[in-house]
Structure 1
Amino acid sequence: MSHSITINGTTIETARLRLRPWRVDDAGRALDIYGEADVARWLAPAMHRIEDAEKMRTVVARWVEETAEKAGRPTGRWAIEDLSSGELIGSGQILGLPPEGEDLELGYQFAPRAWGQGRGSEAGHALAHYAFQHDEEEVFAVVRPGNHRGIRTAREIGMEWVGETTKYYDLRLQVFRLRKGDLDVASR
């Protein structure tokens, strides 16, 4: 995987992807991601399946507003586009994990048609670069047991498994961590 990453404000580009702030008119394509049961089943309780366009539009509008209000830490949500086609194929996040928001979580979801092509690890790697460029020292991925795709992606990013916890979301989760100094170790 190429790790060529360009960060321009809140837009991040990799060899194949553009991560950019969400726009309200992205809601229809967002529904292709968050309306899919195979995507949403791993997101609850933080997010549940969105079943209609109007609800998705409300959620995306909230994300746009949250991004506009953001200050301080490098948190946010990004729409992920395929660079060659311009098609919106995924979503990426850096968000504070509950209960206190001290630990930052990398998250990424893709429409099923974009699965199995290494885009999750490419997006996660880019988000880690963004966080580390903004003075964070570590980021986490939390994955439900049984989410083999999520576990594999965390490892492809170069994240280290640090154990299981119920600290976040009151669920038993696998925890993976990436420290700033280890960002590119996996690709060497």
Structure 2
Amino acid sequence: MADDVTIDGSTIRTARVRLRPWREDDAPAALEIYGSAEVARWLAPAMEQVADVDAMRAMISSWLAAPPGPAGRATGRWAVEEIESGRVAGSAQILPLPPEGEDLEVGYQLAPWAWGRGLGSEAGHALAHYAFANGEEEVFAVVRPRNERGIHAARRIGMDWVGETEKYYGLRLQVYRLRNSDLDVPLLDPSPLEH
């Protein structure tokens, strides 16, 4: 996958997806993601289901107005466009994990129509390249224990399971980590054995 990642400023491109900054006119497509109960169930309490396109537009406006993390860190929020169709298939972000914000979380959410095609792990892999190209040494993914899609995507990116914690968001979460030196190292067995 390494040869398939191109970083051009704040736009990241892979073979099948383009991660680009959000625009306010993306609100209807973003609502397909954040307005979906199937997606929102894995995000609460950090983020609740978005009720309508006006609320989604306001959320995107707030993302655009405020920097996502400390200056000098490789943080950001991106719309994930499927290159073939041009549709916004998902959302991707690198954000500081609460409570201290020292650890960076790689996160991605897809609209239900885009599930099952590997686009989430492709977007997450691209985010890891972006973080490491901008000086980060490691990134994390935190996943609820029953979120099999999230767990599978983290493993496909090459992340290692490091345990469970209640440190982030006050929830019991599975923690996955990817270090710069492990990016694009072939996996011997991509199935999660820790459960």
Q: TM-score range by the shorter chain?
A: over 0.9
Task: Give the partner amino acid of 2:82.
Answer: D
Corresponding position of 1:47: 47
Paired residue total: 188
Mapped partners of 1:78, 1:6: distance in 2: 15
Partner residue in 1 for 2:73: 73
Alignment partner, residue 140 of structure 2 = 140
Structure 1 gap segments, 5+ residues each: none
Asked whether the equivalents of residues 91 and 108 of structure 2 are also in contact (C-alpha less than 8 Å), the reply is yes
State TM-score, norm by structure 1: 0.96
- Which residue is 1:59 aligned to? 59
Q: Distance in 1 between matches of 2:23 and 2:124?
A: 21
CA distance in structure 1 between the aligned counterparts of 2:33 and 2:16, rounded to whole angstroms:
19
Give deviations 1:58-101, integer Å, cap 9, x for gaps: 10101111249973101010000011111111000000000011
Helix, strand or coil at the partner of 1:50: coil
Identity of aligned residues (%): 65
The one-letter amino acid of 1:60's match is I
- Cα gap change, 1:41/1:164 in structure 2, threshold over 3 Å: closer, same or farther? same
Quick check: 1:118 aligned with 2:100? Answer: no
- In the alignment, which residue of structure 2 is the partner of 1:173? 173
Task: Confirm or deny: 8 A CA contact 2:138 2:179 kept in the other structure.
Answer: yes
C-alpha distance in structure 2 between counterparts of 1:39 and 1:178, whole Å = 24
Unaligned runs of 5+ in 2: 189-195
User: TM-score scaled to structure 2, two decimals?
Assistant: 0.92
CA distance in 2, matches of 1:68, 1:140: 16
The equivalent of 1:96 in structure 2 is 96
**Offset, 1:186:** 2.8
Q: Distance in 2 between matches of 1:12 and 1:114?
A: 19
Q: CA deviation at 1:119?
A: 0.4
The change in CA–CA distance for 1:2 and 1:134 in structure 2 (over 3 A counts) is closer
Residue deviations 1:109-129 (CA, integer Å, cap 9, x gap): 000000000001100000000
What is the distance in 2 between the residues matched to 1:164 and 1:71?
29
- The separation in 2 between residues aligned to 1:168 and 1:39, in whole angstroms, is 19
Q: Secondary structure at the match of 1:162?
A: strand
* Secondary structure of the corresponding residue to residue 113 of structure 2: helix
Matched, 1:7 2:7: yes
Deviation at 1:3, TM superposition (A): 4.8
> Match for residue 85 of structure 1?
85
Q: CA deviation at 1:2?
A: 7.0
Is the alpha carbon distance of 1:2 and 1:71 closer, same or farther for their aligned partners in structure 2, counting shifts above 3 Å?
A: closer
Verify the 8 A CA contact 1:67 1:77 in the aligned structure 2.
Answer: no
Which secondary structure state, in structure 2, belongs to the residue aligned with residue 136 of structure 1?
coil
Instruction: Indicate whether 1:158 and 2:158 are aligned.
Output: yes
Cα deviation 1:27-74 (Å, max 9, x = unaligned): 111000000000000001110100111111110101111249973101
SS of equivalent residue, structure 1 residue 108: strand
Counterpart of 2:135, as a letter, is D
Q: For residues 169 and 69 of structure 1, do their structure 2 counterparts lie closer, same or farther at Cα, with a shift above 3 Å needed? A: closer
Q: CA 1:68–1:175 in 2, change beyond 3 Å: closer, same or farther?
A: closer
Deviation at 1:187?
6.1
